[in-house]
Amino acid sequence: MAAVSLESVSKVYPGGVRAVSDLRLHVRDGELMVLLGPSGCGKSTILRIIAGLEEPTSGELWLDGQLATDLPPRERNIAMVFQSGALYPHRSIQGNLAFPLELAGEDPDEIRAKVVELSRALQIEQTLDRLPGSLSGGQRQRVAMGRAIIREPSVFLMDEPLSNLDAALRTDLRLEIGALVRGLGVTTVYVTHDQVEALTLADRIAVLRDGRLEDLGTPTQVYEDPATAFTAAFLGAPQINLLAGTVYAHLGEGSVTIDLGGQELRLPWTDPRVEHLAHHHGFPIIVGVRADALHPVSDPEEGAELTGRLRALEYHGHEWLAHVETDVPVVDRDELEAAPRDQRETPRDESAFLDRVRSMLRLGSRRAEPEPPSDHVGAHRRSDLVVRLRSGHGQKVGAPMRLAVDVSRVLFFDREGRRIDPVQR
């Protein structure tokens, strides 16, 4: 039985903003579900609907098998922590933690015991007699979590609880939140736009885009086997390379090639993805290649190679990132935004396809190159491939670079951004 079920839930705010669209999501009992997506995709609205702070426009909410759509918030047995959990400034930390139990009329000795136990788990036992004003941001957030969880809610909701903390503290507290909610076995829905938080914390991640569920799976499923190009681009740093290609099935030769504007990748018939790719013969697709699926080599295998010129080398401490200029048309994530889904191009109508793809995913960080000079083909935008290197040793900026492509890890998406071969869930 799902502890929290949203059945076809939609939310349209007064004024017409559609924040959530036809969402079906089942959070299992004891599960830590992370809602991940860019700003404005509806994450907080979903959390507020679960808490009862917002009414869905349509659809149903079920809590522990009971229809809860119209249940008042206080009858839901749900606790919520926000970005900066507000504390009572004139009550000690002990008083803040005890407050929900005092309200519930619990025995003072039991309250004291619970407060001490929880403050130990949250590593704030030395602060119990102090006022919130004297605590660090991280300690205050620990108290806020403790206060929310002390009355043992059946569902724990967290809305970006770490976003106001510095990086080191975020890492510490992230680990502690995971340990705490798993230790207590409380069903938790955790909202963030930080992919690292999502990947490290979640049992499952629900990726949201424009109020819709884009993908749902364990961290490894959504990272390694993403259902859409949007998910692939949202998860992972550096961001996945998204290339525009065209599929050609060669029945005689027994292979499928992906034409990448002058360069090509080849898949033998033995590759299980070929069967699905062959249906797209003559059509443009999106090819996703993670930075660590590319390796500089002197003698790559035919059909698993991309060539270019090393334009820049970036030192990141634990790794180097090579920016390799190629003639491969790169799909620019900055320009990807919601595309109309009823639009259809004819095969090989690549410039229309690219225009659409550019307007499909709007997420990101990588800056587009200036418009291509005249020796570039068609309307394609030429840009860099990003390659992860363990060492920059021996690499010379400006030199030609041959890259072996780990074709088994390449992801193929149709022009709507959906995976061409079926994902495993």
Ligand X SMILES: Nc1ncnc2c1ncn2[C@@H]1O[C@H](COP(=O)(O)OP(=O)(O)OP(=O)(O)O)[C@@H](O)[C@H]1O
DSSP string, 216-280: EE-HHHHHHS-SBHHHHHHSSSSPPEEEEEEEEEETTTTEEEEEETTEEEEEETTSTTHHHHHTT
Is the Cβ–Cβ distance between 385 and 326 less than 8 Å? yes
Beta bridge partner(s), residue 32: 188
DSSP state of 418: B
Query: Cβ of residue 16: shortest distance to ligand X, in angstroms?
Result: 9
Cis omega (within 30 of 0) for bond into 238: yes
Query: Cβ of residue 78: shortest distance to ligand X, in angstroms?
Result: 17
How many residues bind ligand X, per CB under 6 A? 13
Query: Cβ of residue 170: shortest distance to ligand X, in angstroms?
Result: 16
- The piece of 9-17, 109-117, 173-181, 373-381 that touches ligand X (CB under 6 A) is 9-17
Using the rule CB under 6 A, is 19 a contact of ligand X? Answer: yes
Residues between 34 and 53 that touch ligand X (CB under 6 A): 37, 39-45
In this complex, which beta carbon is closest to ligand X, that of residue 48 or of residue 273?
48
Using the rule CB under 6 A, is 193 a contact of ligand X? Answer: yes
Using the rule CB under 6 A, is 338 a contact of ligand X? Answer: no
- The piece of 11-19, 57-65, 288-296, 299-307 that touches ligand X (CB under 6 A) is 11-19
Using the rule CB under 6 A, is 317 a contact of ligand X? Answer: no
Query: Cβ of residue 159: shortest distance to ligand X, in angstroms?
Result: 8
Using the rule CB under 6 A, is 17 a contact of ligand X? Answer: yes
Q: How wide is the angle at C-alpha 232 spanned by C-alphas 227 and 233, nearest 5°? A: 140
In this complex, which beta carbon is closest to ligand X, that of residue 49 or of residue 227?
49
Residue 103 gets the label, from left (phi > 0), alpha (psi -120 to 50) or beta, of alpha
Please give the backbone phi and psi of residue 72, each rounded to the nearest 5 degrees, phi first.
Answer: -60, 150
Is the Cβ–Cβ distance between 335 and 362 less than 8 Å? yes
Q: Which of 13, 65, 104, 282 binds ligand X (CB under 6 A)?
A: 13
Is the Cβ–Cβ distance between 189 and 83 less than 8 Å? no
Here the tokens at position 316 are 């990141």
In this complex, which beta carbon is closest to ligand X, that of residue 233 or of residue 265?
233
Sequence-separated (6 or more) residues with CB below 8 Å from residue 172: 138
Tell me the C-alpha distance between 138 and 84, whole Å. Answer: 10
- The piece of 15-23, 256-264, 294-302, 332-340 that touches ligand X (CB under 6 A) is 15-23
In this complex, which beta carbon is closest to ligand X, that of residue 57 or of residue 263?
57
Query: Cβ of residue 160: shortest distance to ligand X, in angstroms?
Result: 7
In this complex, which beta carbon is closest to ligand X, that of residue 197 or of residue 384?
197
Query: Cβ of residue 48: shortest distance to ligand X, in angstroms?
Result: 7
Sequence-separated (6 or more) residues with CB below 8 Å from residue 191: 34, 35, 43, 44, 46, 47, 157, 158, 159, 160
Query: Cβ of residue 234: shortest distance to ligand X, in angstroms?
Result: 13
Query: Cβ of residue 80: shortest distance to ligand X, in angstroms?
Result: 13
> Which of 187, 120, 111 is closest to 150 using CA atoms?
111
Using the rule CB under 6 A, is 337 a contact of ligand X? Answer: no
Residues between 140 and 179 that touch ligand X (CB under 6 A): none
In this complex, which beta carbon is closest to ligand X, that of residue 27 or of residue 249?
27
CA atoms lying within 13 Å on the CB side of residue 284? 26
Here the tokens at position 295 are 């390796």
> Which of 46, 35, 25 is closest to 207 using CA atoms?
35
What x/- string results for residues 194 through 223 when contact with ligand X is judged by CB under 6 A? ------------------------------
Here the tokens at position 265 are 């990748």
Query: Cβ of residue 263: shortest distance to ligand X, in angstroms?
Result: 38
In this complex, which beta carbon is closest to ligand X, that of residue 222 or of residue 310?
222
Using the rule CB under 6 A, is 88 a contact of ligand X? Answer: no
Sequence-separated (6 or more) residues with CB below 8 Å from residue 406: 293, 294, 295, 304
Query: Cβ of residue 54: shortest distance to ligand X, in angstroms?
Result: 8
Query: Cβ of residue 35: shortest distance to ligand X, in angstroms?
Result: 8
Contacts with ligand X by CB under 6 A lie at 13, 15, 17, 19, 37, 39-45, 193
